[in-house]
Amino acid sequence: MSVIAFLLWLLLLVLCWPLAVLALVLYPVVWLLLLPLRLAGVVVEGVFALLTALIMLPARVLGGRR
């Protein structure tokens, strides 16, 4: 957790502690729900990197810029 997020959480705790406690409890649940989307993003990024490498392969073999 970054320092800014921690300070914002402390400010929320002072101003509205029930909402801060709810946010603290729901954070792991939201993180777990978003985990498949993160994994899908990693897979899509890997596929794009593979396609880029395949497209650039002839230029690299023929001695394109490095």
- Write out pLDDT tens, residues 1-56: 689 999 998 888 888 878 778 888 999 999 999 999 999 999 999 999 999 999 99
Q: Which residue's entry shows tokens 């509205």?
A: 16
User: Helix 3-15 vs helix 17-61: angle between axes, to the nearest 10 degrees?
Assistant: 160
User: DSSP 3-state helix, strand, coil percentages of the chain (rounded to 5)?
Assistant: 90, 0, 10
Global pTM value: 0.54
Alpha carbon 6 to its chain's center: 19
User: In a 3-state reduction of DSSP, which class is residue 64?
Assistant: coil
Q: How many helices (H) and strands (E) does the chain have?
A: 2, 0
